[in-house]
Structure 1
Amino acid sequence: MSRSAAHPPPRNGFSLVEVLVVLMVMGLLATVAVLTMPGGERKLRDEAERFAARTLAARDEAIVGARPIALVVSDRGYYFERRLRGQWQPLPGKGFDLTGWADGTKASAGRQRIVFDSLGLASSDAVVSLTRDGTTLVVHLRRDGKVTLDAG
């Protein structure tokens, strides 16, 4: 019997199973890291994303309804209005009513009224900065109707 048949050469590298186990462990660690993110930062991002989503929904409502919809935003919160019989009135529907910023969130927006026309175009550019626990996120509303969210 030859020496090579009795003692196969040692293998270099890792098996597929070993690599998959390592990848699974890394995935679990990444999940734990994301779930243990600081609460204030996550709450701020959720609030900014909710504001951006509601603003986009109001823009879409202006397009679908073929009538102007206004976003009124201030340091205390925001709400949406529609033009009815020559006057601005609160826009009915869940998510369009007065929404205050969460406790601990500071907004530097001043008082602004941005009107979306029936094409979805905004009357002006606007910037709303939200700050919580030292973290700042900035929501940009552009005249073309786009809404973006950036780290401050």
Structure 2
Amino acid sequence: MRAAERGFTLTELMVVLVILGILASAIVFVMPDPRGRLIDEGEVFAACAHAAQEAAIVEMRDTALWVSPAGYGFERHDGETWRPIGRPPFQDRQWPADTAVTIAQEDGERTRIVFDATGLNDPLDVILARDENRVSVAIGADGTIDVSG
């Protein structure tokens, strides 16, 4: 048999393995985290809080945001009691299972802030943490909402 018909050389096999390794590495780095990004969760929370604030101003009715380590939701005062809103974007939401939540103004199982018709509210600071990442969502007394992390 001739030398050219015996198979691949070691150099050719090594080149193919290096190329496959580079491609596999590129795919791993491009794939998104299946848990989602923590900053995205903080921004969704901030957007929902802002929508509740605007709803309170437009409808001239007190709207509350409650937050707990398990999730958050929205309520509206009907003159007698607080009732869940339940319609998008105000349905109750759960934090992802691997996200630790710290509430600076924690007062019991749930912490509630109320947006009134003027857009003012009590301040609220929520810190989301996952692995080494931390995102802070600060709702100021003047209604400003800041997401940092």
TM-score higher than 0.5: yes
> Matched residues in 2 for 1:119 and 1:36: separation?
45
Q: Contact 2:123 / 2:141 at 8 angstroms: preserved in 1?
A: yes
Q: Which runs of 5+ in 1 are unaligned?
A: 1-31
Q: How many residues align?
A: 117
Match of 2:147 among 146, 149, 152: 149
Q: Which runs of 5+ in 2 are unaligned?
A: 1-25
Give CA deviations for 1:44-86 in whole Å, capped at 9, x if unaligned: 1111000000000000000010011000001110000000131
The one-letter code matched in structure 2 to 1:132 is R
Match of 1:48 among 35, 42, 45: 42
Match of 1:97 among 49, 69, 91: 91
The match for 1:25 is: none
Equivalent residues in 2 for 1:134-145 (5 A)?
Answer: 134-145=132-143
Give CA deviations for 1:3-26 in whole Å, capped at 9, x if unaligned: xxxxxxxxxxxxxxxxxxxxxxxx
Residue 126 of structure 1 pairs with residue 124 of structure 2: yes
Residue 84 of structure 1 pairs with residue 83 of structure 2: no
The one-letter code matched in structure 1 to 2:49 is T
> Matched residues in 1 for 2:31 and 2:48: separation?
25
The match for 1:113 is: 112
RMSD over aligned CA atoms reads 2.0
> Matched residues in 1 for 2:102 and 2:31: separation?
25
Gap change, CA 1:108 and 1:78, over 3 Å in 2: same
> Matched residues in 2 for 1:70 and 1:38: separation?
34
The one-letter code matched in structure 1 to 2:123 is D
Q: Which runs of 4+ in 1 moved over 4 A?
A: none
Bigger mean CA deviation after superposition, 102-111 or 78-87 = 102-111
> Matched residues in 2 for 1:40 and 1:53: separation?
22
Over the matched positions of the two proteins, sequence identity in percent amounts to: 38
The match for 1:71 is: 65
Task: Describe the SS at the equivalent of 2:45.
Answer: helix
Task: Describe the SS at the equivalent of 1:137.
Answer: strand
